[in-house]
Amino acid sequence: MANVVVVGAQWGDEGKGKIVDWLSERADVIARFQGGHNAGHTLVIGNTVYKLSLLPSGIVRAGKISVIGNGVVLDPWHLVSEIAKLREQGVEISPENLLIAENAPLILPLHGELDRARESQASVAKIGTTGRGIGPAYEDKVGRRAIRVADLADDATLELRVDRALVHHDALRRGLGMEPVNREELLAKLREIAPQVLPYAAPVWKVLTEARRAGKRILFEGAQGALLDIDFGTYPYVTSSNVIAGQAATGTGIGPGAIGFVLGIVKAYTTRVGEGPFPAELHDADGQRLGERGHEFGTVTGRKRRCGWFDAVLVRQTCATSGVSGIALTKLDVLDGFETLKICVGYDLDGKTLDHLPIAADQQARCTPIYEEMEGWSESTAGARSWNELPAAAIKYVRRIEELIQCPVALLSTSPERDDTILVTDPFAD
């Protein structure tokens, strides 16, 4: 069986939740491989809306195993809260259907405090983080001072890990004018939450390896988008982890040979939350219209998203770095009614035409979009479930996107409803 990796191919908010849910019905295991509870996935199933941040999208489906891999930074208090909210909506969650990697690092209260303190420093340019401690938790992971899920099971180890972390954090806090961490209070909180987290702890790498050998279908789910990747995103306005498809292997402990199909989720236009470059951003009535029709507000933060025309340069770039096999094009219906549509096909940098976004921040800021115009359509595409239901101009728009990004459309989504999807290529097919 082909195993599938789902990645966002823009700046996040591409509609991954719906697509992952649509695919998870046919998967046996759904594994989250990076990020934290700064992610936001909205699932609409029937008349019920589920809002997920940390848990894999497959958790709302009975008979599936959901996995949180070691590439995720885990806020244990948020985990318990999110589980409780889903249980209130009738979702059954137990160690039978939710597994958490024993080596997943924890997000502690001190991480969120540090995150927010840094962002509040008026003399430093803001990155635009969610303030939830994601970045500081990843820093502790690579600094070898993280507290991991398995550490909660042994009090002596837990105290050693906390002491090591506080040597670093108390020094940082003094420099920011913050009070030192209350060691005993932190230990008490960890001891209290441990019994609620440890039942889910498992050697995830082993579970996934056995599932693969048994011929199970595995769906690997990422968070954010490839343009927020720590290496290949618009640095420093990025997330703190690798978002591209290669992280699915290291973030779960399964070999790269297990990946059969990479599905890139792409919105039919472009949005971005927070700070950072955005060459195709619109500050006019068209941008306002896209935001209003697309309900462009962050699932986690509630922040209004910046909107712009489809940027084929960026998506072609992310399809290359993630090795995307095919894209799922979402929110096509938001473009209904536009007389003219534009697609960014290149950048002008000081009179020179570029076919990619440069790495240097000053050059990114000076890039202006080169647009290609296309005829829009007046008919509705909302809810279409076959090519025959789409206007000719909409099909032409989709085909032009395929040409420009050098990658085929595998799925086409025409509304938030999971069944309003046109299947072109089955990602799970051998």
Least confident of 50-59, 75-84, 99-108, 260-269: 50-59
CATH number where 149 lies = 1.10.300.10
Measure Cα distances from 247 to 295, 310, 341 in Å: 30, 26, 34
430: in domain: no
429: in domain: no
Is the predicted pLDDT of residue 122 greater than 70, yes or no?
no
Pairing of strands 409-413, 326-330: parallel
Domain membership of residue 347 as a residue range: 265-423
20: in domain: yes
205 & 97 share domain: yes
N residues, the chain: 430
pLDDT band, residue 221 (cuts 50/70/90): very high
* The predicted structure's pLDDT at residue 124: 63
Pairing of strands 310-311, 340-349: parallel
Q: Residue 226's closest CA among 274, 275, 263, 279? A: 263
> Percent helix, strand, coil in the chain (nearest 5)?
35, 20, 40
385 & 273 share domain: yes
For residue 13, indicate whether it is catalytic: yes
For residue 420, indicate whether it is catalytic: no
84 & 118 share domain: no
Query: Could you count the other beta carbons within 10 Å of the beta carbon of residue 263?
Result: 27
129: in domain: yes
79: in domain: yes
360 & 270 share domain: yes
156 & 270 share domain: no
185 & 220 share domain: no
pLDDT band, residue 306 (cuts 50/70/90): very high
Domain final position from 197, 231, 252 = 197
316 & 416 share domain: yes
402: in domain: yes
Catalytic residue among 13, 151, 229, 311: 13
What is the rounded average pLDDT of the residues 416-429? 86
> Token pair for residue 400?
């032009």
* Residues 186, 53: Cα–Cα separation, whole Å: 24
Look up tokens 């007389």; give the residue: 339
Least confident of 178-192, 300-314, 373-387: 300-314
396: in domain: yes
* The predicted structure's pLDDT at residue 57: 86
CATH number where 7 lies = 3.40.440.10
382 & 257 share domain: no
Catalytic residue among 41, 169, 333, 420: 41
403 & 271 share domain: yes
Domain final position from 245, 262, 279 = 262
pLDDT band, residue 83 (cuts 50/70/90): very high
Q: Residue 329's closest CA among 54, 19, 51? A: 19
* The predicted structure's pLDDT at residue 172: 94
* The predicted structure's pLDDT at residue 47: 81
391 & 282 share domain: yes
Position 401: which residue type?
A: I
**Residue 172, exposed/middle/buried by CB under 10 A (0-12, 13-18, 19+)?**
middle
120: in domain: yes
CATH number where 364 lies = 3.90.170.10
* The predicted structure's pLDDT at residue 21: 81
287 & 389 share domain: yes
Is the predicted pLDDT of residue 301 greater than 70, yes or no?
no
pLDDT band, residue 38 (cuts 50/70/90): confident
79 & 206 share domain: yes
* The predicted structure's pLDDT at residue 299: 58
Beta strands in 69-169 (DSSP E): 98-101
Domain final position from 197, 220, 247 = 197
Residue, of 57 and 32, whose pLDDT is higher: 32
Least confident of 25-29, 249-253, 298-302: 298-302
Domain total in the chain = 3
Mean residue pLDDT across the chain: 93
